[in-house]
Structure 1
Amino acid sequence: MVDRNVTIVGGGPVGLLAALAAVAEGLTPHVFERRTGPRGGSRSIGVHPPALEILERLGLLSRFVANGVLVRRGLAFGEDGPLGAIDFGSCRGMHRYVLTIPQRDTESILWEALEARAPGAVTAGWDLLDIHDHAGRLRLSFRDLEGRRRHVDPDVVLACDGKRSRIRAFLGMGFRGAEYEGGYAMADFPDTTKFGADAAIFLNPRGLVESFPLPGRMRRWVIRRDAEHDEFVTADEIVETINERTHHRLQPADAVDASAFRAERYLASSLSHGAVALAGDAAHVVSPIGGQGMNLGWIGAAQIVHALACADADAASVESALHVDAAQRRRAARAAIRRAEVNMWLGRPMDQPRLRERFVRALLGRPAADVLAHVFTMRGLAWGV
């Protein structure tokens, strides 16, 4: 095994997990992050079985489980009541559930684990300024909050710097995609339902409503908004929509972290360039409906690190390993985008909702429900379907 200096730009969930995977593989990670600590909020909450397997290999699963909720079943409702359920217990593998945990807790666990296993691996408060060729090697230039500058000459760069990746832009790599029609909004509320640890989806003619359990007897509610809106949303709008479409009575004053968002899809023209690999939102953006984004980033980050650990010492072997891995990850990203689009189609406003309800009832019957559970829990992405 060859010890390599791996510079990771971006210390969000994907960058932190990449660093932990690098430590486990015997590599030396160095994470540069603009922020000075884990972010607040709970935007991304779902951890699917393929990602749970990665956390288990890294010895982190028990901490995640202790701080999350194990969702073993998803319930579907139409206008007039229940349509059926998906039982994740029908899936193969050790982890027959989806774990829900607020993103702030996810980042805190990863940040603390990395500091314990590789003290000093995270350099916080430093922003990327430039990336260029220097004497045949990549050179990254950073600046801190006080204006001081620092240059780094890594063996390999992992760009985990988000949708607006500077590294991707510096290298001139394409990033094609689009924004889907329709807007969404979400907020967390105290759990007043009888769903317990079950997730629930409501297929209303005016649009989707989703509900997921969270730790501390809270629930995340997500709505498809009635019309095109700007990025601002009020708790009153979210509550009114939920009340009308689901008949669950919530109170605006109880809303936590209310926010609006748009669903998008983007995919980089290539996920590697020489000794640079793109990961997470820098590589691909998937609609959040279905909760695949962070998981796809983790799966990709673990694959990149493993490819690096298995590559020979010379630069050509590293670049070849990253190129082969990038093609595999791009195929998986396309599959995730297609799956997310199916989820969105099921939840869009419809003039003939009864047809959709009959279709969903059929999907929730055996054996189709077992296949659906397999797809919803992100299994089989490597096959590109």
Structure 2
Amino acid sequence: MATIRLHAMTVGTPRGVPWWSAFGGRNSSLGRRDLAWLGDAAQSCLVERNGYWELEPSFHELDASEKVFHSYRLGMTQASIMADRILGTTAMVHVDSVLKLLGVLVPEKRPDLIGFSLGRPGPSASTTIRPSRILMEAKGTSKAKDATTIATALNQVKPAPTGKSNQNLQQLAHLLGRNALRIASLAFFDVNPAGGLPQVPVWQSYLEDPPETSDTVTSWSDDEFSGLLLLAKLLPLYSILRTEKIEEFVWSEYINVPMAQFAVDADNVIGLPSAYLEVLEETLSRDHASLTTERYRALRELSLAIHALAPDPARVEPNEQPVEEVWGSALLRCGVSLASRHA
């Protein structure tokens, strides 16, 4: 459950923290409560039985609008988990966080998530994941897999049609460049497809990535792009947590870098690599009010700086190292960790 909670808390900007308050550290107490609440929202919907996650029975007592919200959060959380486990993403972040950081978000349609993977080797060419920029639409439902929902998600990650003026899609095209993975993700509940036990609906994932291509050329290098996503992911998180740094520690032999530990609530702490803190603090202290060439140059420099500090993703392999089982905690490839105060 620690892995689910960590992804639930970090996959999107916490709802209680307006983005620009991240650049002043305001609303930190509200944001801290909301951060824990995001983890609670995902945890409240799931119950583990026989090695599977089933839908909590009380979910069915919610009204329709409440079910929509929780299904959305489960969809976002699972998309982040599967991107980590299957694609080996170093960062998966809400599109809005990236576009807001760049100062270009407008009230027009856009997909949910943007990410980057350094690639993962496989036993064959067809199972090898190449280094990729990723755009993903995350859907969630408490019911079985639905072809209509998948088709809608696929349509949302298609390259912007020629001649259309959606500024969000145009900016994403300039960030992603050619040959990005454009993925539809659906979190759903259905009986075990292998026919084994349990014969009750369990939490499952469906991913589809059609061979869509774009002719748009990007000026962002992979290092700049990866660093930009780290900044967009970590700035809101750090701005919430920065009021109460507890101590420094080394996570484990799996990721041998100094970590700074911050309180989320009475029971849990989040760890950030200590090397990140100076870059994050510098970013918070800069003037981000104007949309200028200097702003973009500064963001590229900061992105490269934080990219260079990120742990080696090869040292953080949740599928190969049972970090959660051993340590009662969870860890992302970019070095962000979640642990119980009482472990």
Q: TM-score range by the shorter chain?
A: under 0.3
Greater strand share, structure number: 1
- Of structures 1 and 2, the larger Rg is shown by 1
More helix by share: 2
